[in-house]
Structure 1
Amino acid sequence: MKITDVKTYIAGNNWKNWVFTQVETDEGITGLGEATLNGFAKTTEAGVHDLKRLVIGKDPFDVEHLSLSMFRNYYSDGGQIQGAALSGIEYGCWDIMGKALGVPVYKLLGGKAQPKLRAYANGWYRSARTPENFYKNAKQTVEKGYTALKFDPFGSAWRVVDRPDFYYAIENIAAVRDAVGEEVDILIEGHNRFSVHTALQFAEAMRPYSPTWFEAPVPPQKISSMVEVAKRSPVPIACGEDYYCREQFSELLAYNAVHIIQLEPQYLGITAAKQIAAMTHAHNGVIAPHSAQGPLCSLVCAHLNTATPNFYLHEVFDDFNVDWTRQLLNNPIKVEDGYITVNEEPGWGAELNLDVVEAHPYNPNNFLPLFSDGWEKRQSVEMD
C-alpha cells in the first residue's frame, strides 16, 4: 500500500477553525486526520501540503519513520505549526492501518489499558465572567454527569493583576466550588498568563478550594519558571500542551516537579505522544492530554488514553460546542455519566461529513483571543 495524496478541509467553527486532512492510498483506503491550531488554520493547511511530499509514495504502515521524517527532514524548527501539520498526516496513517487490519487504533497502541475514561468538562462557562454565572453554569454541568470541571477564572489577565481583579478571580473559583460541592474535581486553567510571583500568589489564594490542579500558570518557554512554580506551589501544577517535541518533555520531567503532563497529540503526532506518555510513566507521572481542538482530536485522545496505563483525565469540549459541530463526524465521542468509552470500529471509527464542512466555511475571525475581554463567550471576534 502506498500513499497517493493528502487533501485538506477547513470547518469554520466560531471559536477556532478546524483543519481536517484525508490521506489517500492506491488501495482505496483513506485515513482521517486533524491539523487544527488556534489562529493558524490556513498556515497549518499550507504546512500539510508542504509536508506531504515526504509521505507520498510511502507505506502508511511505516508511521514511525514517516513521523520522524516530517519532524526532522526539513532541518527547520516549525514549532506547533509543523507539529499540527505532521499530526494531520500521521493521524490519517493510523486510521488507514486500523481500517486495513480491521481494528480500532487503540489496539495498535497496545490495547485496552483503560476500560473507560473519566472526562472533565471544558467550555461550559460561555457567559459573562461573574461569580453568579460560574455558579449557575457549574451546577448545570455536574447535572449532566461530569465529576470534574475546568475553567479559567482570570478574564484577560496577563503577568500581573490589580488587587480587585485578583480577589474577583478567587471569588469565581469559590463560586464553582460552592456550586459543585467537595466531591467534584475543579481544575484551574491559567492559560500561560502570569509571572512566577503572581502565579504563586494565586496558587496560595486558591488553596482553600482544593483545586485538583493549576494549569499552565506561567508561559511555557522558560521551563525553569514552570518548575519554580511547581516546586513552590501548594496545589499541583499541570502543563505540557504547548510543547511539540520529546526533548521539551524530557527536560520538564527531569526536574521531578510537574507530574500531571498535558501533552498535546495535535502538535506531536500519536507516535511521539505515546513515547512521551511512557516517559511520564517512568517519572511516576500521569497524563491528561490537551484536547481542545476539533472532534477528531477528541477521538484521537480517547484512543491514546485508552491504551495508556498512566492516563488520568480526558478533556471534553464537544458537549459544549454549537449544535452543528456534532454532525461533523458520523461517530463522535459520547460522554455518558461523566465517562467515555471508545467504539470498536476500525481506525478512528469515524468519517468526516463534507456537506457539513462545506456549509460552515473558514472565517479568519474564528479564533480564541485569550487576552481580550469576553473571550470566554467563544464567539467569532473581529480584532482591532
Structure 2
Amino acid sequence: MIISDVETFIVGNPWKNWLFVKLQTKDGVYGIGEGTLNGFAKTVEAAIHELKHLYIGMSVFDVETVSLKMIRDVYSDGGQIQGSALAAIETACWDIIGKLTGQPLYKLLGGQCHEKLRCYANGWYRGPRTPENFYEKAKLVVSKGYTALKFDPFGSAWRTVEKRDFRLAIEIIAAVREAVGPDTDILIEGHNRFSVHTALQFAEAMVPYKPTWFEAPVPPQNISSMVEVAKRSPVPVACGEDYYCREQFAELLKHHAVHIIQLEPQFLGISASKQICGMVHAHGGVIAPHSAQGPVCSIVCAHLNMATPNFYLHEIFDEFNEPWEENVLTPPLKVANGYIELSDRPGLGVDLNLEEVQKHPYHPGNWLPLFRQGWEKREQNQS
C-alpha cells in the first residue's frame, strides 16, 4: 500500500489553528493525521510538503522507516516543527493500516488494557482570572461527571511574581478546591513559567489544597532544574509535553524524580510514543499524554492510552472548545460522565468533515499567548 500524495487543511480555531492531513495511497485508501503546533500552523504545513519527497512512494506499513527518513536522514534538528510534520504523516499511516486490517488503532498498539479512560477537563476556565470565575466554572465541570480538572491560576507570570499576584493564584486554587470538594483531582498547570525557587514557593503554598500534580513548573530545556523541583516539591511534578525525542525522556527518567510523564504524541509520532510509554513503565511511572492540540490528536491519545497498561489520565479540551468543533470529525469524540469509551471502528475510527473544515479558515491571530495578560479568555489575537 504505497503513499501517493498528501493534502493539508488548516482549521481556524480562534485560540490555535489546527493543521490536518489526508494521506493518499495508490490504491485509493486514505488516512488522516494532525500536525498542530501553537503559532506554527503554516510552518508545519510547509514542512509536511517540503519533506514529502522522503515518504511519497513508501509503504504505509513501514512507519519506523518513515520516521527515520523524516527525522534522522534530514540530519537537522527541526524540533517540534519537524516532529509535528512526522506525527501528522505517521498517524495517517497508522489510520490506513487500521483500515486495511479492519482493526482499531489501539488493537495494533498492543490491545485493550482498559474498559474506559478517565478524563480530566482542561480549557474550562475561559474568562476573567478571578476566584469567583474559577469557582463557578469548576462547579459546572464536576456537574458534567468529571472527577479531575486542570487549570493555570498564574496569569501571565514569568519566572517570578509579585506578592499580590502570588496570593491571587493561591486564592484561585483554594476556590477550585472548595468548588469541587475533597475527592476530585485538581491538577495545577505551570506552563513552564517559573524559576526553581518560585516554583518551590508555589508548591509549598498549594499543599493545603492537595493538588494531584504540579505540571511543568519550570522550563523544560534544563532537565536538571525540573529534577531539582521534582525532588524538593511536596506536590508531585508532571512534565514531558515539550519533548520531541526519546533521548530527552531517557535523560529525564534516569533521575527517578518525575513519575507522571506527559508525552506529546503530536511531536513524537505514535511509534516513538508507544516506546516511551514502555520506558516510563520500566521506571515505575505513569503516563498522562498531552492532548491539547486538536481533535485528531485527542483521538490518537485515546488509542495510545487504551493500549498502555500504565495509563493514568486522559486530557480533554474538546468539550470546552468552540461549539462547532464536534462537527470537525465524524463521528465526534464523546465524553460520558467523565470517561471515554473507544469504538472498534478500524484505524482512528473517525474522518475529517471537510465541509465543516472549510468554514473556518486560517487566521494569524489564532494562537495562545500564554505570557500576555488575559490569555485565559482564549480569544483571537489582533496582533
The one-letter code of the counterpart of 1:92 is A
Q: Residue 104 of structure 2 aligns with which residue?
A: 104
Q: Residue 198 of structure 1 aligns with which residue?
A: 198
SS of the residue 1:308 aligns to: coil
Q: Residue 85 of structure 1 aligns with which residue?
A: 85
The one-letter code of the counterpart of 1:208 is P
Query: Matches of residues 65-214 of structure 1 in structure 2 within 5 Å?
Result: 65-214=65-214
- The offset of 1:108, in angstroms, is 0.4
Q: Deviations over 1:318-373 (max 9, x none)?
A: 00011111100011211111100111111101110111111100000000000001
- The offset of 1:71, in angstroms, is 1.4
Distance in 2, Cα, partners of 1:178 & 1:143:
14
- The offset of 1:68, in angstroms, is 2.1
Q: Residue 258 of structure 1 aligns with which residue?
A: 258
Query: Matches of residues 1-384 of structure 1 in structure 2 within 5 Å?
Result: 1-383=1-383
SS of the residue 1:224 aligns to: helix
The one-letter code of the counterpart of 1:83 is G
SS of the residue 2:269 aligns to: helix
Distance in 2, Cα, partners of 1:38 & 1:14:
11
- The offset of 1:96, in angstroms, is 0.3
Distance in 1, Cα, partners of 2:104 & 2:22:
18
Asked whether the equivalents of residues 188 and 211 of structure 2 are also in contact (C-alpha less than 8 Å), the reply is yes
TM-score, normalised relative to structure 2: 0.99
TM-score, normalised relative to structure 1: 0.99
**Structure 1: which 5+ residue stretches go unaligned?**
none
The one-letter code of the counterpart of 1:327 is N
Asked whether the equivalents of residues 299 and 332 of structure 1 are also in contact (C-alpha less than 8 Å), the reply is no
Distance in 2, Cα, partners of 1:115 & 1:295:
21
- The offset of 1:316, in angstroms, is 0.1
The one-letter code of the counterpart of 1:249 is F
Distance in 1, Cα, partners of 2:111 & 2:332:
20
Asked whether the equivalents of residues 123 and 151 of structure 1 are also in contact (C-alpha less than 8 Å), the reply is yes
The one-letter code of the counterpart of 1:281 is H
Q: Deviations over 1:289-329 (max 9, x none)?
A: 00001100010000000000000000000000111111000
337-346 vs 237-246, which deviates more?
337-346
- The offset of 1:50, in angstroms, is 1.7
The CA RMSD measured in Å over matched residues stands at 0.6
SS of the residue 2:238 aligns to: strand
- The offset of 1:267, in angstroms, is 0.2
Distance in 2, Cα, partners of 1:98 & 1:170:
47
Q: Deviations over 1:109-142 (max 9, x none)?
A: 0000111100000000001000000000000000
**Structure 2: which 5+ residue stretches go unaligned?**
none
Distance in 2, Cα, partners of 1:366 & 1:245:
27
- The offset of 1:47, in angstroms, is 0.9
Distance in 1, Cα, partners of 2:20 & 2:37:
11
SS of the residue 1:8 aligns to: strand
Aligned residues: 383
Asked whether the equivalents of residues 51 and 86 of structure 1 are also in contact (C-alpha less than 8 Å), the reply is no
48-57 vs 230-239, which deviates more?
48-57
